[in-house]
Every structure is written in structure tokens, then in C-alpha cells.
Structure 1
Amino acid sequence: MDQHRNKATILSILCMGLGQIYNRQFTKGLLFLAFEAVSVYYFINNLGFALWGITTLGETPRTSANLHEGYDHSIFILIQSLITLIYLIVFLIAYYLNVKDARKVGQLRESGKKANNFMESIRYVLDYKFSVTLLTIPSLGILFFTVMPIIFMIMIAFTNYSAPKHIPPAMLVDWVGFDTFKNLLALKSWSYTFYGVLTWTIIWAVLSTVTTYFGGMLVALLINQKGIKLKGLWRTILILPYAIPQLISLLVMRNMFNGQFGPINQYLRYFGLDAIPWLTEPMWARVTVILVNMWVGIPVSMLLIMGVLTTIPKDMYEAAEVDGATGYQKFKIVTLPMILFTTAPTLITQFAGNINNFNTIFLLTNGDPVNGKYQTAGSTDLLVTWLYKLTLQSNRYNMASAIGIIIFLIIASFSIYNYRRTKSFKEEDMIQ
């Protein structure tokens, strides 16, 4: 009874496409056969090299004797090996789908139904599996252009790929296990910088998130008051910092806070006050970046919260007034819980974004002022800007990769833990 199903399954396991040919789906079977032939040819020429390369990362550095050919470039070998292994995974998935398809069609034949021809199969895919078909190409793109670079970065963290001793092709790169993480977390010259930058990153993320969120809430509540006239004008004025490209805003602010020529210090001198080292003294530089971030970030929170305020039913306020609630009590009992319920996931996202807020720090201070006790990091550097300097200025790629992994672990752990504790996750039907 299972004759067609079993035969098609066995044939498709032996060779891609044979099961489809057995089921009289000749065009589909030939396409599967062609895909396997191309893949096998590719693996014959590259799989052995990939396994050797990802294990050894090369054996022959470039010297004066082999200046133009005959040397190994560890990073190119790692990338080529990674591409081959990812393609192998894609091939195995396609092989599984080939077996599954042949078995399914064989089962249809056993029930007396006719197998679809090639055009009918295409029509079925476009009509009933259109979403899956449409997502296939972007998924492959994400696999090779997003997932693969992430895997590559993770692998770099377990090598000694850094200046000055291990930069290909003159020198080879080797696997070193967790030595990079040990140096970053325990070696004094690196750990002092890491813990200092990590502490400031967390302080920055908390302060910048709290100030922009509650600042935006305050502005939204003020504009939403009944006695405020020209609300549209106020909204327009207050949204201008967000409407102007951040690059322009931050560079203008950098000039305004210039300690010597900036207009802010010039006004202070005009009134007989001492100039403030806004960007050259570590504590003042940190205060400055938080203030400027408020200027850029408050309009975003204001827009978000103003949208939430329009969704709160007026009946809730009327009921609170009947119970004799004051304005503050209405805010505490009605407004604030509804705002937090709706915006809690966004608040978590803002915190995660501020940990990686590269633009504000880089464009405003470039991580400066310089800290002589740090390894290539300044007093306002975040982990992400320090990572940038380690990569493009110091060529410490393994350290930068290790920091990237740590940033991901911090953000992922915080976001998942806090999102699952929010009421918007636990009580999805609250406002339904």
C-alpha cells in the first residue's frame, strides 16, 4: 500500500530528483538533479579546503620568497571556509525538502490522485505558498549578508587577529580559544578600560533613557492640557530637533559647546562668568552629551506619548473625577499606567538603543576627552565607540569582536528579561 511513497522516498534519498522523476514530475526532478550536480562539483573543489582552512587558518605566511602567490591569508581562508560550510547547510536543507516532497507526492499517488506537473506546481506555489516563496530570497540574503558576518565576528573573537603581530598576510592568525575574553576581563591593562567604559555605558544608557522618556512625557502632558492654545504650533516647534537630521544637529551642538570659540561660552564670558570646559573635561563632557541627547531624544518620546494620550478613554477620567480624584491622582491612577503599559516595550528598545548610541557620542565628542589610563578609549566612549576605535584605528579585531559579543549578551539579556516582565507582555488583552 505504501509502494509509491516508499519508492519515491528511497530514490530521493539516493539522489536528489529521482523521487520526483519516479512520480512523473520530470522538470522538477531534473532541476533537483542539476542543483545536486552543481553542489557536488562545488563541494569536491571546496569542502576539503574549507575543513582544512577553518581548522588551521593557513600554514604559509607571505615572505619575500612568495610575495605574489603561494601564501595563505588567514582571514580570506576563514571567510571562504565559512561560506562553504553555510552553503553545505543550505544544501542539506534542500536535500531534506527534496525527500519530503517526493514522499508527499508518492502518498498522493497512492490515494489515486494525479501528481502536479511543473506548471501546476508553480501555480500552487504562487497561489498557496506565495508568502513562503517571496520570503525565500530575502532569507538567503539575510543568511549570507547578516548571519554569516555575525558568525564571522564571533569566530574572530576566538583568534589572535590583532596588530601588530597577527595581521595577514605577513603573519598568520591562530585560534586561541577564550584567551581574548580572559585578557579583556582579567588582564589589568585591558580590564581597567573595559570596566570603566562598561560602567559609563550603563550610566549613560540609564540617564539618557530616563531623561528623554520622562522629558517627552512632561512635554506631551503640557501640550495636551485643556488650557493650552495653538497646540499645533507647539507640536511643530518641539518636533524640529527631531525633524532636522541628527548629523547636522550634533555637529552644530559640537560647535556651540566649543570651549574656546563656542557661542555658549562667549555668552558666559559676556556676563562675567567663567567659561565651562564642556567637551574637554571628563565630567562636563559626560553632562554635555546627556543634555544634547535630551535635545535630540525628547521629541521622539513626546510624539510617542502624545499618540498614547489620544487613545485613553475619557470615561476613565470622568469616573476618576466622580470619585473626587485630583489632577495628580488622575495622572497617577489613569494616565501613567496606560502610558507605561503601551510604551514599556518601546522604553526597553530605547534603553537597548542608547547602549549602542554611536552617533551622539562619536559626532559630539568622538569619545574624548582622552583618558591616559584607558587603552585607546576616551572618557565618554561607550562600548560601541570603543569597539569602533579598536577596529578602525588600532586594528585590534579580536578584542573588538569580544566586546561586540559582550554588548549583544548585555542587550539581549536585559531586553528579554524586562520585556517578559512588562504588563504589555503578560496582559496582551488589557486594552481589547
Structure 2
Amino acid sequence: MPTNTDNRKENLINPRHNPTLAAVLSIIPGIGQIYNRRFVKGAALFILFAAFFSAMYSFIVSGLQGLVTLGEIPREHDSRVFLSEGILSLIFFAFFAMFYVLNITDAYKDAKRIQLGWKVPNMREGFKNAWDTSFPYLLVTPGLFLLLFVVVFPLLFMIFLAFTNYNLYNAPPRHLLSWVGFDNFIRLFTIAEWRSTFFNVLSWTLVWTFVATTLQIALALFLAVVVNDPRIKFKRLIRTVFILPWAVPAFVTIIIFSALFNDNFGAINLHMIEPLFGTKIPWMTDVTWSRVAIIMIQVWLGFPFVYALFTGVLQSISSDWYEAADMDGANRWQKFRNITFPHVMFATAPLLIMQYSFNFNNFNIIYLFNQGGPAVRGQTAGGTDILISWIYGLTFDNQQYNMAAAISIILGILVASFAFFQFRRTRSFKEEGNI
């Protein structure tokens, strides 16, 4: 009685053509394709791999060695250069490995198809098929290379720095960097000064993000619902006025508010607070009042964009829904809770999540208002510093590059985790049948 294996062998038109042999021959790139009678493709692959290997072998080997040692002669070897060349070597090696595996896979798949009766195309058909299948990748390639050297390379450089001892007192080329493993992360959570600063800044960052963003969304929703009411006249004028704060560059607005909130000569103290209450509020020198001021400024800066989103969504809601609700005897709150609010949230949820992520890393307002101040005793961060502005201060003011890189990794993980979790839960990102 024939087995399943025997039946499969009977279905093969060319059983003597061995896919495994094609894959083994492709250990030398191009030879497997030549075995499959794709001579031009095999020759091209062999030449490309040989050229890459001969041109990049010495750079990759020396780069990987330098990545391990980070230099051996102080004042002559710059560890930053060794680190950069090592990262580039890793990227080139990853590309080589990826295309090497694709070369083996391609030879195996072609051999499998030949075994099943596939006819090897001639040169003209081969070029046409290659052009048709590779054209989309050809268009994507420039963007991919730009992404690698503008995003991936700096990101990897920062990640590697987090595991070195790069700081003000150990800066190359005078000194050589060395790998310290997870010591920077351990210091961040075990040394009292670093631990207290980190958790204070992290807690304020979370409070700032939630309070400022939620208030700007709530204000925008309230104003959008009120202005959308059919009894309101001059809608276009009102909407134009509400959009104006968005039209002014944010850094200009922040600098103006910084002057308005100044403790000594600011208009808010001189012409509003002092005449009414006979005192001045220390907006710039007291941590609590500085935080209140920054939150109010962010609400002013952030609500116009969200207001524009909500206004567009409200105008797209059919009036039939509200007419049906009126016939059922629903009041204003019930119509808002069951019709307006769900529609607005469904349409804008991804953008609102981006507002939270943006404010989590909103460096401009923190730095331009009062450079993260006022100072706090026993901390390396100011009273209004959030994680991103603290990292900036550690990098450019204190030259604590290793600690700044370690905190940046933690910051990136927090933002990515929050965004991924929220986007996955958002109905807008689910398939229509799975909502």
C-alpha cells in the first residue's frame, strides 16, 4: 500500500531536482541559483556578495572589535568614534545576514517550484518579473536608508551609551570609555539622590501629562458642544477666535506668558492679583505655583487643536439621531452621553492618545517658561522638570551622558508601552467586524 510520501513523490514532475541541495549550494551566494539554471541571477548575486564582502569585511571586523574594546590608547583613540563605527558595523552585518538568508531561501523555493514542474523563465522574462516584484521595494529603499541613519543609528548610539561610564569626568578622547553593564540603571534606583529625583520627576511628569491634557480636552469638548448649539449666532467668528491661539507659534506664546507670569514685573501679578488680593503669587519661584502656571499655559496652547477636531466631528453627526432621542424623551445630558460623546471619542481617540504622548514629552513649554525651575534642594532636576527636560539638563548642563541615556531608555519604554496599549484598545484600530 503506497504511503503519503510515495504519493508526494509520484506528483513531482522533476523529482531529481533537490531543493535541499540548492539551499546547501547557496552557502556560496549565487551557486544555488546557478544550480536552478537561473544563471544571470546567480552570477549577479555572487558578484554583489563578493563585492560587499571584499569592500566591507575589514571595516566590519575592525568596527566590531572596536565596539568590544572602545579603544586602547587614551588621548589617541576616541571611544565615541569606536562606538559609532561599531554600530555601523552591526547595521551592515545585519543587512548582510538578512540578504544571505534570503539568498538561501530563494534558491530553496525556486528548486521546490522546479521540482513541481515550474519552467525557469528566460532572461527577458526574468528581468520583467524581477522588476515587477522589486519595484515597491525600490521606492521604499531611500526612506529605509534615511530611517536607518537618522533614527535607528542615533537610537542605538544612545542605548549603547547607557551601558558605559561616559560622563563629565570620563570624557573622551582624554579618557577611554568602558562598559559598565547595568550599573547606571542600578545607581538610578539605589543611590538616594538619583532615586528621589527620578521618582519625583516621574510622578510630576505623569501628573502634568494627565492633568494638562485632560483639561485641554475637556475645555475643547465643552466649547465645541456649546458653539455647535443651533441657538448660537456668529458661529464662524467664534470658531475663528478659538482657533487663534493655535495660529500663533507656541514658542512665542510661551515666552509672552513667561513675562506675564514674572513675579516682579509680570502683568498678572501687577494688574490682577495684587490689586484684588493685595499680594503677589510667586509663579516663578514656588514649585506649586510654577506647576499651576505651566498647566494653565498648556491648556491655552492645546485646546484649539482638539477643539477643531471636535467641531468637525460634531458637524458630521446626523440630526436624525437627536430627533429620535427627542421622540424618546431624552434630556440634554442623555443625548450628550449616549450620542455626542461616543461619536466624538470614536472618531478622535487615536489623536487624543497622541495628545497625551506629546505632552509626556513636551519639552518646549517646560524649558521656555523657566528652564524647569525653580531649583529643588537635594535634586538634580528642577521643580517643573519633566523627564525629557531633565534628560536635556543632564546631557547639556551636567554632561552626565550615561545617566541621561539610561533615563531615555526608561522614558522610551514608558511612552511606547502606553501608546501601544491604548492604540490596541481603541475601537478605531479594530477591524469593522470585531468592534
Is the pair's TM-score, using the shorter chain for normalization, greater than 0.5? yes
Report the equivalent of 1:65.
none
CA contact (8 A) 1:16 1:36 kept: yes
Report the equivalent of 2:9.
none
Q: Deviation per CA, 1:261-305, whole angstroms, max 9, x where unpaired?
A: 333233137836433322222111111111110111000110111
Q: Deviation per CA, 1:72-92, whole angstroms, max 9, x where unpaired?
A: 211211111111122111001
1:59 matched to 2:64: no
Letter in 1 for 2:420: I
**CA-CA distance at 1:208 after TM superposition:** 0.9
Q: Percent identity?
A: 39
Q: CA separation in 2, counterparts of 1:424 and 1:114? A: 46
Report the equivalent of 1:357.
362
**CA-CA distance at 1:99 after TM superposition:** 2.4
Q: Deviation per CA, 1:186-222, whole angstroms, max 9, x where unpaired?
A: 2012112111111111110011111111111011111
Q: Secondary structure of 1:276's match?
A: coil
Q: 1:391 aligns with which of 384, 390, 395?
A: 395
Task: Report 1:211-250 matches (<5 A).
Answer: 211-250=215-254
Q: CA separation in 1, counterparts of 2:84 and 2:21? A: 40
Q: CA separation in 2, counterparts of 1:430 and 1:293? A: 37
**CA-CA distance at 1:27 after TM superposition:** 4.5
**CA-CA distance at 1:169 after TM superposition:** 0.9
CA contact (8 A) 1:160 1:176 kept: yes
Task: Report 1:280-429 matches (<5 A).
Answer: 280-375=285-380, 377-425=381-429, 428-429=432-433
Q: CA separation in 1, counterparts of 2:310 and 2:433? A: 20
Q: CA separation in 2, counterparts of 1:203 and 1:388? A: 20
**Relative to 1, partners in 2 of residues 1:304 and 1:103: Cα closer, same or farther, differing over 3 Å?**
same
- TM (normalized to structure 1)? 0.89
Q: Secondary structure of 2:262's match?
A: coil
**Relative to 1, partners in 2 of residues 1:112 and 1:332: Cα closer, same or farther, differing over 3 Å?**
closer
**CA-CA distance at 1:22 after TM superposition:** 4.6
Higher mean displacement: 27-36 or 265-274: 265-274
Q: Secondary structure of 1:350's match?
A: helix
CA contact (8 A) 1:162 1:398 kept: yes
CA contact (8 A) 2:168 2:398 kept: yes
CA contact (8 A) 1:4 1:109 kept: no
Report the equivalent of 1:142.
147
CA contact (8 A) 2:37 2:120 kept: no
Letter in 2 for 1:132: Y
Q: CA separation in 1, counterparts of 2:289 and 2:274? A: 21
Report the equivalent of 1:66.
none
Q: Deviation per CA, 1:311-358, whole angstroms, max 9, x where unpaired?
A: 323222122111111112211222122222333332222212111011
**CA-CA distance at 1:16 after TM superposition:** 1.8
Structure 2: runs of 5+ lacking an equivalent: 1-14
Report the equivalent of 2:5.
none
**CA-CA distance at 1:2 after TM superposition:** 4.5
**CA-CA distance at 1:53 after TM superposition:** 2.0
Q: CA separation in 2, counterparts of 1:426 and 1:19? A: 43
**Relative to 1, partners in 2 of residues 1:112 and 1:321: Cα closer, same or farther, differing over 3 Å?**
closer
1:274 matched to 2:279: yes
**CA-CA distance at 1:229 after TM superposition:** 1.2
Q: 1:17 aligns with which of 30, 41, 60?
A: 30
Q: CA separation in 1, counterparts of 2:32 and 2:142? A: 25
Q: CA separation in 2, counterparts of 1:83 and 1:269? A: 58
CA contact (8 A) 2:159 2:409 kept: yes
**CA-CA distance at 1:182 after TM superposition:** 1.3
Q: CA separation in 2, counterparts of 1:428 and 1:278? A: 50
Could you say what the CA RMSD is over the residues aligned between the two structures, in angstroms? 2.4
1:175 matched to 2:179: yes
**CA-CA distance at 1:96 after TM superposition:** 1.8
Letter in 2 for 1:75: R
CA contact (8 A) 2:17 2:114 kept: no
**CA-CA distance at 1:123 after TM superposition:** 3.5
**Relative to 1, partners in 2 of residues 1:276 and 1:54: Cα closer, same or farther, differing over 3 Å?**
same
Q: CA separation in 2, counterparts of 1:125 and 1:339? A: 47
Letter in 1 for 2:397: Q
Structure 1: runs of 5+ lacking an equivalent: 63-70
Q: CA separation in 2, counterparts of 1:422 and 1:100? A: 38
How many correspondences in the alignment?
Answer: 419
Q: CA separation in 1, counterparts of 2:289 and 2:110? A: 71
**CA-CA distance at 1:248 after TM superposition:** 1.6
**CA-CA distance at 1:116 after TM superposition:** 4.5
